[in-house]
Amino acid sequence: MSLKYFSIIFMSSIGFCAEVFAVNDPVCSQPQLQTSALQSGKISVKDAGAVGNGTIDDTNSIQIAIDCAFNNGAGYTVYFPPGAYKITSGLNVHRDVDLLGEGIGWASVIYPINLASGTAAIYLDGTKQNGGWAFKNTLKGLNIDMKDSVGKIAIQINNAYNIHIADTYIRANITGTTQTSAVAVVDINTSNHVTLDHIVIYGEQGIGTGLKINDSWVTAINPDVEGHAANIIVSETAIGKGKFNMFGGYMERFGQYGIRFNNTGYNHIDGVVIKIPNNSPHGVSFNNSTNNLLTGVSLLCATGTNCTAIWGSSGNTITNTLIQGNTL
């Protein structure tokens, strides 16, 4: 009799614990998320409640999908079906979780609205995670429209390892609004093995710097970066803390620099086309930077302007580089 009574209490306790878990994590326990994850390895943000109509705030639903996909470290893919997903605060992506959209053609779009000052739309940031490192994340085919978040970061990569961003279009052209070069659309700090594969950062005014890299090992493959204050800034607090390799790609529409190297060495730029527009000081600038390699680069100065295609080249190797229209 007492054993039967104990069994009833034990079973009731199990039921109570399960119920508590369901209350604390109501979406993750829903059948459609569990079935989707187990069958395909993907969790759709729409199964987590996102609408994707560009009007309803989908921040909470998307974050829930990302949290569910973490799965205590197992790591699923969070899938964004075609739609415009409005967010009003940054999304924190856990390690081993991938974000997947429908390609570079504006099918799946993150649409940040009025982000708070100093924040980003998407965080791949180890300082926000247990263990202090973000790692093994892929963001592919998910586009970001920053036109209503002036001067904010689209993607913040910090204390990260093995990050892959591919087939991603970031629009940040806010005509008539100028930001300083300190603000970057994609900001990478103290990270290693970051690959940017066929990404587009497009902006005419208001975006500051398109891509900013500090103390990080980054490889960019055929990127298209069009900034306003500067397209790309690469810097190190001490030589040897980072390395930037760029193979192929195109850049124009910058106000100050195409590529700016600050206190950095052993970077490699290969096969890149840089169109230097009116009133832009430098196509490539080496500031206290040596032992860098430029090869097969085309520096095309705008007709009829004073153009310094390369500044501070001493101590760097420049081979097979075309300089067209340089007046100095």
pLDDT tens, 241-300? 889 999 999 988 777 788 999 999 999 999 999 988 776 678 899 999 999 999 999 998
Tokens 């998307």 belong to 62
Residue 177 has pLDDT above 60, yes or no: no
| Least confident residue range of 5-19, 147-161, 274-288 | 5-19
Residue 21 has pLDDT above 50, yes or no: no
pLDDT at 20: 27
Give the integer Cα–Cα distance in Å for 328 and 323: 11
Cα distances (angstroms) measured from residue 262 to each of 191, 210, 295, 317: 17, 16, 19, 16
Evaluate whether residue 240 is within a structural domain: yes
**How would residue 22 be classed by pLDDT, with cut points 50, 70 and 90?**
very low
Evaluate whether residue 36 is within a structural domain: no
Give the integer Cα–Cα distance in Å for 14 and 209: 55
Evaluate whether residue 194 is within a structural domain: yes
Domain total of the chain: 1
Residue 1 has pLDDT above 80, yes or no: no
Using alpha carbons only, give the angle 161, 162, 166 rounded to the nearest 5 degrees.
130
Evaluate whether residue 208 is within a structural domain: yes
Residue 5 has pLDDT above 60, yes or no: no
Identify residue 70 by its one-letter amino acid code: F
Q: Which residues constitute the domain of residue 263?
A: 42-324
Give the integer Cα–Cα distance in Å for 194 and 156: 12
Burial of 128 (0-12, 13-18, 19+ CB in 10 A): middle
In the sheet that 282-287 helps form, which strands lie side by side, from edge to edge? 91-92, 120-125, 153-158, 184-189, 209-214, 230-235, 257-262, 282-287, 308-311
To the nearest whole number, what is the mean pLDDT of the chain? 82
pLDDT at 152: 84
Residue 102 has pLDDT above 60, yes or no: yes
| Least confident residue range of 22-26, 122-126, 134-138, 150-154 | 22-26
Contact 219, 243 (CB under 8 A): no
Cα distances (angstroms) measured from residue 28 to each of 123, 161, 217: 21, 27, 35
Please state whether beta strands 184-189 and 209-214 pair in parallel, antiparallel, or not at all (unpaired): parallel
Give the integer Cα–Cα distance in Å for 111 and 146: 7
Evaluate whether residue 69 is within a structural domain: yes
- Across 29-33, 94-98, 129-133, 251-255, the highest mean pLDDT is recorded for 94-98
**How would residue 217 be classed by pLDDT, with cut points 50, 70 and 90?**
very high
Record the tokens describing residue 252, joined without a space.
């124009």
Give the integer Cα–Cα distance in Å for 40 and 132: 29
Sign of the torsion angle spanned by Cα atoms 267, 206, 198, 44: positive
Write down the pTM of the prediction: 0.86
Residues contacting 291, CB < 8 A, separation 6+: 265, 266, 315, 316, 317
The CATH code of the domain that includes 274 is 2.160.20.10
3-state helix, strand, coil in the chain (%, to 5): 15, 45, 40
Evaluate whether residue 20 is within a structural domain: no
Tokens 């996909």 belong to 69
| Percent of the chain topping pLDDT 70 | 79
pLDDT at 32: 65
Higher pLDDT, 308 or 123: 123
Give the integer Cα–Cα distance in Å for 274 and 8: 74
Evaluate whether residue 21 is within a structural domain: no
Backbone φ and ψ of 143, nearest 5°: -95, 155
Evaluate whether residue 252 is within a structural domain: yes
**How would residue 147 be classed by pLDDT, with cut points 50, 70 and 90?**
confident
